Amino acid sequence: MKKKSFIFLAGHKGLVGSSILNLLKGKGYKNIITVDKKKLNLRDYKKVKKFFKKKKIEYLIMAAARAGGIIANSTYQKDFFLENVEIQNSLLQLALDKKVKRTIYLGTSCIYPKFAKNPISESSLLSGELEKTNQCYAIAKISGIKLSEALFHDYKMDIICLMPTNVYGDNDKFDKINGHVIPAMISKFIEAKKKSQKSIKLLGTGKPIREFIHSKDLAEAIFTCLNVSRKNIKKIFKKKLPIINVGTGDNVKIKDLAVMISKFSNYKGKIKFDKKSPDGTYKKNLNSKIIKKLGWKKRINLKNGLKEVVLNQFSK
């Protein structure tokens, strides 16, 4: 990818998209194309088609999606399904028509079966039952992988599917109900401190184990994949669609994550768990050998990254 390449970054305002935007700008990329959701709803195929007609697009990064935490995922299954399928269908079909040089499709670790063997490797896809609380999101994302596979095999489209683990960072949705686990917890701690609450109630048993990646590290992984040579990809994947996990090995029990956030928040009250609420999959930790082989490595460890995010939120 050249500094003058035309890169359409879909979803540039989101947690992941904004990190990629900062990274590309910082590296001196001059032709990054972005568009606000208000101006272009990516679910609207006809409008997206017009947009693709008008613009020069050589690379496509698909960071636009409906994403959220366990409550949002289980409450709005229909929306998670339709929005993701429609966005990815529009973008993938048009990337094919436009003969985009490389497309980066963003999936998620939620696509893997609930009882997949940890660390979860890419080959676990569709090898078992999915977690119920986010099955519509997972199936929508899997359908995007399967469409990518068809485009890759039948039309020789250059496409790389990345499956990141749980992402956190500054530009997250700090919503105590619909947010992902880290921003939802931080929002609860901020509220508890403001209201001088003696205790705080968090979702689930606190026992599940999750792996986290800072959005800046994920942006680096996406950048690695935009630039890796086709020859290198072929060497690893032979004739298969490249599906690549992106995880850090920073695994932590939800209970311990809560303790870390309470320390960084300087919250002295009690942490309680609402054991009646869902836990989701017990353990999700990715095998990330391939992305490391391609030269990517994490730079931000969870403790430092989380501390910075918590302090930044408290200072707002």
Ligand X SMILES: NC(=O)c1ccc[n+]([C@@H]2O[C@H](COP(=O)([O-])OP(=O)(O)OC[C@H]3O[C@@H](n4cnc5c(N)ncnc54)[C@H](OP(=O)(O)O)[C@@H]3O)[C@@H](O)[C@H]2O)c1
Q: Answer yes or no: are the C-beta atoms of 151 and 159 closer than 8 Å.
A: yes
Task: Give the residue, chosen from 7, 29, 43, 151, that forms a contact with ligand X under the rule CB under 6 A.
Answer: 43
Task: Give the residue, chosen from 5, 11, 89, 228, that forms a contact with ligand X under the rule CB under 6 A.
Answer: 11
Q: Residue 10 in 3-state DSSP?
A: strand
Q: Answer yes or no: are the C-beta atoms of 96 and 151 closer than 8 Å.
A: yes
Residue 48 in the binding site for ligand X (CB under 6 A): no
The answer to whether 76 is a known catalytic residue is no
Residue 64 in the binding site for ligand X (CB under 6 A): yes
Nearest approach, Cβ of residue 17 and ligand X (Å): 5
* Contact range with ligand X by CB under 6 A, out of 15-23, 120-128, 251-259, 274-282: 15-23
Within 8 A by CB and 6+ apart from 1, the residues are 7, 29, 59, 102, 226, 227
Helix H or strand E encompassing 131: none
Q: Give the tokens for residue 281.
A: 């999959």
Nearest approach, Cβ of residue 122 and ligand X (Å): 14
**143: alpha, beta or left? (left if phi > 0; alpha if psi -120 to 50):** alpha
Q: Residue 103 in 3-state DSSP?
A: strand
Q: Answer yes or no: are the C-beta atoms of 233 and 162 closer than 8 Å.
A: no
Of 21 and 157, the one with the shorter C-beta distance to ligand X is: 21
* Contact range with ligand X by CB under 6 A, out of 61-69, 151-159, 187-195, 197-205: 61-69
Q: Residue 246 in 3-state DSSP?
A: strand
Task: Give the residue, chosen from 8, 17, 91, 261, that forms a contact with ligand X under the rule CB under 6 A.
Answer: 17
Q: Answer yes or no: are the C-beta atoms of 180 and 126 closer than 8 Å.
A: no
Residue 313 in the binding site for ligand X (CB under 6 A): no
Of 19 and 262, the one with the shorter C-beta distance to ligand X is: 19
- Give me the residue whose beta carbon is nearest to ligand X: 14
User: Which residues here bind ligand X, judged by CB under 6 A?
Assistant: 11, 13-17, 37, 41-43, 63-67, 83, 87, 106, 108, 164, 166-167, 180
**Which residues are marked as active site?**
137
